[in-house]
Amino acid sequence: MDTALDLARWQFGITTVYHFLFVPMTISLAFLVAIMQTVWWRTGNEQWLRLTRLFGKLFLINFAMGIVTGIVQEFQFGMNWSSYSRFVGDIFGAPLAIEGLLAFFLESTFLGLWIFGWDRLKPGLHLMTIWIAAIGTALSAYFILAANSFMQNPVGYTMNAERGRAELTDFMAVLTNKVALITVPHTLFAAFMVGGGFVAAVAMWHLIRRPERDADAFRGAARLGAITLLIAGIGVVITGDIQGKVMTEVQPMKMAAAEALYEDADECAPFSVFTIGTLDGSKPLWSLEVPCLLSQLATGSFDGEVRGINSLNAEYAETYADSGLTDFSPNIPVTYWSFRLMMGLGFAAMAASAWILWTLRKGRLPRQGARSTRWLLATAIVLPLLPLFANSFGWIFTEMGRQPWVVFGLMPTEAGVSPSVSAAQVWTSMIGFTLLYGALAVVEVKLLLRYIGKGLPDANPPRHDDDSDRPLAFAY
């Protein structure tokens, strides 16, 4: 690995995956904190106010880290991918500008009102601020995913041959891209798996390690987190099934790569749960398969035809003869295993949430000293990582499965890299970012563990003084 292109791809991968560790947690925790505060507002039960304060603090730590890593993400785009930025700038500018001016504005402004408005805003108005901030996080995800979906399935543009760039002709087509319409709910459901797993894990840790403190509150939080994870997991499965069919329609090579399917399967294509193959991924040596499942995932029919890598490669070589590419398949081992790790870790998280709900059924609590409780504690410790890593592997699959295109069918990845940036410069920035990310990770984990370990803070219900009879400090 000694070229600027390879290094730029590694830097994109490192910064994107690292940034994406904070995104799903931020989206889901915003809504879960809003739900906790809503329960307190409706019932007056102070245990939900204390939970709101605890998880609100953890949410703010994560939100701040997400902003920092997002800024680095934009920097590496401008430095390493200037040709790509010029090519799609006309199209990406609109959704990303709306994301910044509308979604992030809502998110940050109303989050500020929520932080400083506890004793200054009336409870109903204060509650509204966290809900608007949460909606802002979801809107932000929508506009960013709409921009990314253009890279998977370009729509609403025309090619300006003179200027060598894609230009926007139909903004609504970009916003209603079929890939975006299914990717957005799939990503949001996956994000709620992360937040649900995190809330359930923190609560279960307290229930098992400190059962004498706030057991009722943490039992409620554990149930909320586990139910959220389980429902979101079902949503991920349903939207993922639809997404697989859309992917097969617009990017059949990505589906073929997900299964490492080299030859066309005319009917009843099997899905391999686990495969031992050659190092380059071109030949399976042993495989555990589910008959006809790949056909159903790709086409909606157990007898559907699924095209293989070889025939698609031949078709693309003819269709995109002027692209300069000769091999149109992505890295097969990466796409194959990232697809399975995404699904496997997601199903494992759903199983863990079902176990938590079973343990806490009908007012029960974990039995202290029991062997099953020790296993439950271990499960609670790894639970936040299962959906979090599932999200990351899903993102890796999405981006790697599009290769060798940076914009499918329009721009090869090698054409998007900055022509004036040397390998030494990319090395320098990549080492700098990696060290920065390592330091940020230490800070993030220490802050989270510190506040989690403290447990629930005091309720400190907000006080709203009735100052209607006070003299005005200023009047016209």
Per-residue pLDDT of the chain (476 residues; tens, 9 = 90+): 558 888 888 888 888 888 888 889 999 999 999 999 999 999 999 999 999 999 999 999 988 888 888 777 777 877 888 888 888 888 888 878 887 777 778 888 898 999 998 888 899 999 999 999 999 999 989 999 999 999 999 999 998 888 888 888 999 999 999 999 999 999 999 999 999 999 999 999 999 998 888 899 999 999 999 999 999 999 999 999 999 999 999 999 999 999 888 888 888 889 988 887 776 666 777 788 888 899 999 998 899 899 999 999 999 999 998 888 888 999 998 999 999 999 999 999 999 999 999 999 988 888 887 888 889 999 999 999 999 999 999 999 999 999 999 999 899 999 988 888 888 888 888 888 888 888 888 888 899 999 999 888 887 777 766 555 555 554 44
Which residues is 160 bridged to in the sheet? 165
Q: Peptide bond before 404: cis, by omega within 30 degrees of 0?
A: yes
Spatial contact of 268 and 302, defined as CB atoms under 8 Å apart: yes
Amino acid, single-letter form, for residue 456: L
Rounded to whole angstroms, how far apart are CA atoms 75 and 81?
A: 10
Distance CA 226, CA 248 (A): 32
CB contact at 8 A, 240 and 141: no
CA gyration radius, the chain: 24
Q: Judge contact between 222 and 356, C-beta under 8 A.
A: yes
d(CA 37, CA 123): 10
| pLDDT for 33 | 96
- In this prediction, residue 397 carries a pLDDT of 94
Question: How far is CA 370 from its chain centroid?
Answer: 36
* Predicted local distance difference test score (pLDDT) of residue 464: 65
Which residue has tokens 């003084």?
Answer: 465
- Name the token pair of 142: 């929508």
* Token code pair at residue 9: 């791809």
Contacts of 136 (CB under 8 A, 6+ apart): 103, 104, 105, 106, 107, 108, 110, 111
> How far apart, in whole angstroms, are the C-alpha atoms of residue 210 and residue 197?
19
pLDDT at 457: 87
Structure tokens given for 147: 């921009």
The distance of Cα 392 from the centroid of its chain, to the nearest Å, equals: 7
d(CA 65, CA 445) in angstroms, rounded, equals 11
Please enumerate in sequence order all residues whose Cβ is within 8 A of that of 440, keeping only pairs 6 or more positions apart, or say none: 65, 68, 69
| Spatial distance between the Cα atoms of 50 and 455, rounded to a whole number of angstroms | 9
Cα–Cα separations (whole angstroms), residue 5 to 71, 78, 176, 326, 427 = 21, 14, 32, 18, 11
Here the tokens at position 18 are 């690292």
Length of the chain, in residues: 476
Which pTM does this prediction carry?
0.91
